[in-house]
Amino acid sequence: MLDFFRGLGSSVWALPLGFGLFFGLGALSFTYYPGSAITQPIAFNHRKHIENGLACTDCHAGVETQARATLPELDTCLTCHESALTTSPEEKKIRTMAAAGKALAWVPLTRMPAHVYFSHRRHVTFAKLACSGCHGPVEQSSRPPDRPLLSLTMDACIQCHEKNQARTDCNDCHR
C-alpha cells in the first residue's frame, strides 16, 4: 500500500486522494452503530411522554443552551415518577433504581467523532431546527430505538446546510 502512495509522487491525484480517504473514513464514524442492537435500562416510551405534553427539552437538558445535550438522569424521571402513575414495570424500575442508589445508564445512540464540533444550541436555538431533523421521528416511538433512526454522515450535514443556506466551510465543523 505504501508503494502505491509513493508511486503517486507529486501526482495531481495525491492531494485529492488523501483528503478523500481522511474525510471518507471520518464520515463513517459519525453515527454509532454497535455490533448488536442497543438495550436501554428502561423501555422509555417517547410517544406517551410527548402525548402528555412534555417536550424533548424537558428531559434532555442543554439542548437549547449548550453545545451538548444530555440524557436524562434519574432525578429528571423522579420529578414525575417518584410516585406510581401507572402499573408499568418500566416505570417501577425508576423507583427501584432510585431506592438502590443506582444511576440510569443510558447508552448514547449517536456521537460525533472527536474532530467534529456540533452545537445543539446553535442548531436548535439559532437555526430553529427540530430534533427530528437529526435524530429522526423519535417522538413517535413507543420503545427506545436500538439503533439511530437517521444516519448522520458528513454528506447529510452538508445537504442540510446547503438546503438551509448555512455555511459549509470545513473549519466551521472540523476542529
Q: How many domains does the chain have?
A: 1
In terms of Cα–Cα distance, which of 37, 35, 62 is closest to 119? 62
In a domain, 91, yes or no: no
User: Does pTM surpass 0.85?
Assistant: no
In a domain, 18, yes or no: no
Q: Spell out the per-residue pLDDT of the chain, length 175, in tens.
A: 545 545 555 555 555 555 554 544 444 444 544 456 889 999 999 999 999 999 999 999 999 999 999 999 999 999 999 999 999 999 999 999 999 999 999 999 888 889 999 999 999 999 999 999 999 999 999 999 999 999 889 999 999 999 999 999 999 999 8
Give the three cell numbers for residue 45: 416510551
In a domain, 85, yes or no: no
Report the amino acid identity of residue 36. S
Note down the domain range covering 48. Answer: 40-71+106-173
In a domain, 149, yes or no: yes
In a domain, 95, yes or no: no
Judged on CB neighbours under 10 Å (0-12, 13-18, 19+), 140 is exposed
Question: Residues 110, 144, 103, 83: what is their CA dihedral angle, to the nearest 10 degrees?
Answer: 150
Give the three cell numbers for residue 139: 417522538
In a domain, 35, yes or no: no
User: Do residues 110 and 34 touch, judged by C-beta distance below 8 A?
Assistant: no
In a domain, 117, yes or no: yes
In a domain, 63, yes or no: yes
Q: Is 62 left (phi over 0), alpha (psi -120 to 50) or beta?
A: left
Please give the Cα distance from 150 to 110 (Å, whole number): 9
